[in-house]
A and B are shown apart, each in its own frame.
Chain A
Amino acid sequence: MNLSLLASALPGAFRKLDPRVMVKSPVMFVVEVGAVFSTVSAILDPSVFAWTIVVWLWLTVLFANLAEAVAEGRGKAQAATLRRTRTETTATLPDGGEMPASDLRPGDLVVVVAGQVIPGDGDVVEGVASVDESAITGESAPVIRESGGDRSSVTGGTTVLSDRIVVRITAKPGESFVDRMIALVEGASRQKTPNEIALNILLAALSIVFLAATVTLQPFAVYSGAPQSVIVLVALLVCLIPTTIGALLSAIGIAGMDRLVQHNVLAMSGRAVEAAGDVNTLLLDKTGTITLGNRQATRFLPLAAVDEADLADAAQLSSLADETPEGRSIVVLAKQAYGLRERETGELPQAEFVPFTAQTRMSGVDLPDHQVRKGAAATIMAWVHEFGGQTDTTLTRTVDTVSEAGGTPLVVAERRGGSARALGVIALTDVVKDGMRERFDQMRAMGIRTVMITGDNPLTAKAIAGEAGVDDFLAEATPEDKMALIKAEQAGGRLVAMTGDGTNDAPALAQADVGVAMNTGTSAAKEAGNMVDLDSDPTKLIEIVGIGKQLLITRGALTTFSIANDVAKYFAIIPAMFAGVYPTLSSLNVMRLATPESAIVSAVIFNALVIVALVPLALRGVAYRPSSAAALLRRNLLVYGVGGLVAPFVGIKLIDLLVSQIPGLGR
């Protein structure tokens, strides 16, 4: 938060004083009405005390509005950038005609060539192109978009860098992805979430109780011979009603959405963010989420008569020209495990590399004195037999062992002097990403069950699930299986979160309580999910859950703090109101505040300043470390409950020391 943001938020804060806007926040509306009453009262019967209270009451309202305006302001800057991408573009139709982008309807076909801005959201139906999507993702590297498959969706406002594509428009004007993003980051379409509504009800109820306590205090005060002025009663009321949380509630909600945006995730509704905090079951795709995208060579398994280093050398030779991730990983393993330096391309002048083809199903290299091949077991065995070699059961057993453990076996063979022989097996296995086990342990501590989804056979799936530390797995999963699993979980009352990108993921994404679509995915998937991850990082689901929880915790913590604050305020205000008629009540003045006027003013000032002091916390969210509910409660109750009890005693006393120096308030 900086000063320019604050300055730009100021007009908004004043605009929000409109009672029609204020009434949406019942607590702050009460403060505003109280401020109006006090102002009238201060005009009729002016004094330093009265005007001080009036000024601080208005400041209380303004601070609340400012908090909301600042929260919205952070999104506005982003919205402005997005809006620029929406400037009027002209769409080229396949027949060569042109029309304004805003007239496009779903189903229309448009042609986009290199250098043009894509006029609307849609799917590529013809061609392939590299597209600069930095306008929405912030990522400058271009991405490939092609017809068919899971990379067919394009977003209006992004720029085609090369080639020519034909796009079928899928979004109505004004409802495009960018439009929704703008509305979202600006908070214009923000609706109160279920939890926020429930909390608002509780806050309204507390406000009513305190209103009754304050209003009915007057007859008791009159009876006791100490009738109170309107200003003092309003001051008491404003101090008692939960203004701290009332003032910051909407800022917390906006900031929660904003935190997601900063993580490059767009939530289509606040409801989805809240649901993320409630999730019981996470469905995680194996590939890309739990394991690195591709299988990697993890071991060389030589046959009896072969030296392990020779196998590694042969494996490296056969993979030098293999640019697939698997091939690269073999070279890397040879280097790491056996210190075999990668040979430069020019180093073997006579070498003739044999690339992998669909026909041969193997790759390798032909050198002057010998040939090396690697490939699937059956293919290589056939090659060995073809050139007069023999394979024994040891090889088949090794191959089977690797398969059973969930790996992919690649057999390496060489041919020297006419006769061929198998050297051994390279085990390619899934490599679980670093730190996944710890994250799943955290999830478990938070009461969240993790389920790995994979197309692998149950054996492979089990091995990887055990290694990664997930709670359960779904093997040989079809989209239907996934859907059935989600429905079964939901029938047990559990909330399910998942990620997906393909069109066949769409039904499951729609069914899940939190469906995060990858931005690289199809528009069907993006439509079905309630969040889109612009980075297309499926692991982010875990962070999204954390953000959801943090949002709720921030609300709960500030509510507790707000209510706990009241105790000290009573000890400031009640003796100040009545010590005149009942001197014994001054024993309640435990803070030894200077005068009744300074006591009341100090409580009101504290009440207003605490809003300002907590704005950064509301925007940032309270510190959250994944742990069990019991541990979280203990910590937050200590910090915000006990802290909320103690802080105002100190704060009010300090303010009183200053305020009591003002003539008319002090002694």
Chain B
Amino acid sequence: MPDSLAGLLQVGVLILALGLAWRPLGDYIARVFTSERHLAVERLTYRLIGVDPDGDQRWPVYARAVIAFSVVGVVLLFVLQRVQAHLPFSLGLDNVPTALAFNTAASFVTNTNWQAYSGESTMGYVVQAAGLAVQNFVSAAVGLSVAVALIRGFTRSRTDRLGNFWVDLVRGVVRVLLPLSVVAAIVLIACGAVQNLSDNTVVTTLLGHHQTITGGPVASQEAIKQLGTNGGGFYNANAAHPFENPGPFSDLFSVFLLLLLPVALTRTFGRLVGDVRQGVAVLATMTLLWGVLVVAVTALELHAGTLEGTETRFGIPSSALYAVSTTGTSTGSVNSFHSSYGGVSGGLLILNMGLGEVAPGGVGSGLYGILVLAIVAVFVAGLMVGRTPEYLRKKITGREMKLVSLNILTMPLVVLVGTGIAMSFSAPRSSMLNDGPHGLSEVLYAFMSATNNNGSAFAGLSADTTFYNLALGIAMLLGRFVPIVLTLALAGSLARQQPVPESAGTLPTRGPLFVVMLAGVTVIVAALTFFPVLALGPFAEGLR
């Protein structure tokens, strides 16, 4: 079977599987966030942390709760790494250096999972399990909460209440992420992923060398890493490592897992706003962007035919599919090295993140990201039909545009300014493995990945330096929390409004026309912003 046909089949199976899961999972999540009942374990949690689960919060309160929770997360994770030597199961590893500990704490709390370290040789089991794995769950749940709060902004009227962050967070973990990741972990173990708590095993090879074989709770980590669009691998080689990703099925299953929640959330969105077709339009936009990129990257790579940096077990189509899905979901796990892709496809992967992680984006963040872009699209399109623009029966006034504009400004500013600073000084430049355009791509990729909370690396850049640890840590925090606060403010502003009735004069936001418009706005805004730097990096390298 030729590679391209195998690739097509694979994509077909993937889309079918996601299509089957879309409706039940999306509806289930919608019920989770609208149910009046609290589970016993949830009620216990609320009593332990001392919150009233029935207290609706105004947006500033909701936002403060998100920030406070995340700050505590960063501090805990930082401390845990700094005292690692004194923890049990530390595999004899030393305390993590300050800058790296900050970077890693920021990275996991922001759902980025940028790893400036090598997993197996830096983090012991306690940090992995009590620190990183916990954040894998809760950081994804934070994204989920913010998305749900934004949806409430659309569905509620004349109120300043957006729901309760603690309830959304706990439910996201208990009812959505935990059960799904248990199932996923079992499937992965069945595929052959490693799952134990043993010390490293040292074996003597046939040639008489000693080899250290690492163990650990890999499969469980792997499940939430994909499901929560986290991406932080147990091993440095991430999903190219056979213990994480044993074979072709586990590979495809991983792609399925990382796309699952962002895709299903469009159904949840449609359900909650009372019009499933609105969710379908958003999903269609995501699929369009993702599909075009999968086809483009696969075709370019097959045409180039280079396998360097690609895990030969998977081949080019699987690697391209994985690469586009991971850069489009803010997951950042990799089964091949993006640095090895041709210049243009590498550029496309960077651009995919530069879209703002909306195709289909991270858990929750993909949805709220694309809804913010939808407001921009609706604004321009709405003017063109001669009415004050409205989306989902809420008017887009100056206040909404202010919040949306600041929101879409944040990511490009952080990426461009960060990369600009890095390229202006010789110390950060010395981290580059390559010179010329490829070197620029390495740095650009790092800031793009960090700011968009993706976490994948281009490979080549030595990022474990004080500059990059601090700069990228700050980029991750800004890239995550500035949009979150602005999104919640937007939700608050929308919730206060009285909905306007729909009529034939209302811009339809369901049809193919709107899908094209939304995809167009997403691509044009990102492409126009990053075109110059992409031209000097990947395109200068890749064009012939």
Which of B501, B520, B543 meets A280, CB within 8 Å? B501
Q: Which residues of B contact A493 (CB under 8 A)?
A: 393, 498-501
Does A160 reach chain B (CB closer than 8 Å)? no
Which of A208, A213, A220, A584 meets B544, CB within 8 Å? A584
B381 and A637 contacting across the interface, CB-CB below 8 Å: yes
Does B75 reach chain A (CB closer than 8 Å)? no
* Residue picked from B398, B413, B533, most chain A C-beta under 10 Å: B398
Which of A197, A278, A553 meets B384, CB within 8 Å? A553
Query: Nearest-CB distance from B382 to chain A (Å)?
Result: 7
A194 and B398 contacting across the interface, CB-CB below 8 Å: yes
Does A552 reach chain B (CB closer than 8 Å)? yes
Nearest-neighbor residue (CB-CB) of A550 within chain B: B386
Which of A220, A447, A566 meets B533, CB within 8 Å? A220
Query: Nearest-CB distance from A246 to chain B (Å)?
Result: 15
Which of A212, A220, A587, A632 meets B412, CB within 8 Å? A212
B532 and A217 contacting across the interface, CB-CB below 8 Å: yes
Q: Which residues of A contact B247 (CB under 8 A)?
A: none
CB within 8 Å of B: which A274-309 residues: 274, 277-278, 280
Query: Nearest-CB distance from A336 to chain B (Å)?
Result: 39
Does A528 reach chain B (CB closer than 8 Å)? no
With A213-B529, A493-B501 already in contact, the answer to whether A552 and B437 are too (CB < 8 A) is: no
Docked complex Cα distance between A280 and B543 (Å): 53
CB within 8 Å of B: which A576-629 residues: 578, 582, 584-585, 587-588, 624, 628-629
Nearest-neighbor residue (CB-CB) of B530 within chain A: A213
B388 and A194 contacting across the interface, CB-CB below 8 Å: yes
Docked complex Cα distance between A446 and B439 (Å): 55
B417 and A216 contacting across the interface, CB-CB below 8 Å: yes
Does A484 reach chain B (CB closer than 8 Å)? no
Which of B384, B439, B536 meets A221, CB within 8 Å? B536
Query: Nearest-CB distance from B248 to chain A (Å)?
Result: 36
A633 and B401 contacting across the interface, CB-CB below 8 Å: no
Docked complex Cα distance between A217 and B533 (Å): 7
A552 and B388 contacting across the interface, CB-CB below 8 Å: yes
Which of A194, A240, A624, A634 meets B397, CB within 8 Å? A194
Q: Which stretch from B140-148, B181-189, B403-411 is at the chain A interface?
A: B403-411
Which of B398, B499, B503, B537 meets A198, CB within 8 Å? B398
B381 and A633 contacting across the interface, CB-CB below 8 Å: yes
Q: Which stretch from B37-45, B106-114, B328-336, B418-426 is at the chain A interface?
A: B418-426
Does B19 reach chain A (CB closer than 8 Å)? no
Give the A-B pair count, Cβ closer than 8 A: 212
A628 and B532 contacting across the interface, CB-CB below 8 Å: no
Q: Which stretch from B58-66, B362-370, B466-474, B504-512 is at the chain A interface?
A: B504-512
Q: Which residues of A contact B102 (CB under 8 A)?
A: none
Chain B, residues 525-544, CB within 8 Å of chain A (1/0): the string is 10111111101110110011
Does B517 reach chain A (CB closer than 8 Å)? yes
Which of B398, B423, B498, B511 meets A223, CB within 8 Å? B423
Chain A, residues 623-648, CB within 8 Å of chain B (1/0): the string is 01000111011101100110000000
B383 and A555 contacting across the interface, CB-CB below 8 Å: yes
Query: Nearest-CB distance from A632 to chain B (Å)?
Result: 4
Determine the main DSSP class of B at the interface with A.
helix
With A550-B386, A632-B384 already in contact, the answer to whether A212 and B413 are too (CB < 8 A) is: yes
Q: Which residues of B contact A584 (CB under 8 A)?
A: 540, 543-544
Query: Nearest-CB distance from B170 to chain A (Å)?
Result: 35
Q: Which residues of A contact B421 (CB under 8 A)?
A: 219
Docked complex Cα distance between A195 and B380 (Å): 11
Q: Which residues of B contact A197 (CB under 8 A)?
A: 398
Does A492 reach chain B (CB closer than 8 Å)? yes
Q: Which residues of B contact A161 (CB under 8 A)?
A: none
Query: Nearest-CB distance from B167 to chain A (Å)?
Result: 29
Docked complex Cα distance between A280 and B505 (Å): 8
Docked complex Cα distance between A397 and B539 (Å): 89
Docked complex Cα distance between A625 and B530 (Å): 38
Does A129 reach chain B (CB closer than 8 Å)? no
A548 and B386 contacting across the interface, CB-CB below 8 Å: yes
CB within 8 Å of A: which B483-513 residues: 498-501, 503-508, 511, 513
Which of B423, B508, B531 meets A629, CB within 8 Å? B508
Query: Nearest-CB distance from B458 to chain A (Å)?
Result: 16
Nearest-neighbor residue (CB-CB) of B405 within chain A: A205
Docked complex Cα distance between A574 and B412 (Å): 19
Which of B388, B398, B429, B544 meets A278, CB within 8 Å? B388
Which of B385, B397, B398, B543 meets A632, CB within 8 Å? B385
Chain B, residues 431-469, CB within 8 Å of chain A (1/0): the string is 000000101100000000000000000000000000000
B385 and A633 contacting across the interface, CB-CB below 8 Å: yes
Docked complex Cα distance between A202 and B528 (Å): 15
Does A209 reach chain B (CB closer than 8 Å)? yes
Docked complex Cα distance between A548 and B388 (Å): 10
Query: Nearest-CB distance from B51 to chain A (Å)?
Result: 34
Docked complex Cα distance between A449 and B501 (Å): 11
Nearest-neighbor residue (CB-CB) of A493 within chain B: B500
B504 and A636 contacting across the interface, CB-CB below 8 Å: no
Does B313 reach chain A (CB closer than 8 Å)? no
Does B252 reach chain A (CB closer than 8 Å)? no
Q: Which residues of A contact B91 (CB under 8 A)?
A: none
Q: Which stretch from A17-25, A37-45, A320-328, A556-564 is at the chain B interface?
A: A556-564
Query: Nearest-CB distance from A515 to chain B (Å)?
Result: 18
Q: Which residues of B contact A209 (CB under 8 A)?
A: 408-409, 412-413, 525, 528-529
Could you give 30 example pairs across A and B, Cβ below 8 Å? A198-B401, A201-B405, A205-B406, A208-B413, A212-B417, A213-B412, A213-B529, A215-B420, A216-B417, A220-B532, A220-B533, A221-B536, A223-B440, A278-B388, A447-B504, A447-B505, A493-B498, A494-B500, A550-B386, A556-B384, A559-B383, A560-B384, A566-B524, A629-B385, A629-B505, A630-B513, A632-B385, A633-B517, A637-B381, A637-B517
What 6 A-B pairs have minimum CB-CB distances, sorted nearest first? A447-B505, A556-B383, A549-B386, A447-B503, A205-B405, A216-B420
Task: Name B residues whose Cβ lies closer than 8 Å to a Cβ of A.
Answer: 376, 379-388, 393, 396-398, 400-402, 405-406, 408-409, 412-413, 416-417, 419-421, 423-424, 429, 437, 439-440, 498-501, 503-508, 511, 513, 517, 520, 524-525, 527-533, 535-537, 539-540, 543-544
Q: A212-B413, A240-B528, A582-B437 are in contact. List 5 more A-B contacts (CB 8 A).
A: A205-B405, A205-B409, A213-B532, A216-B416, A563-B524
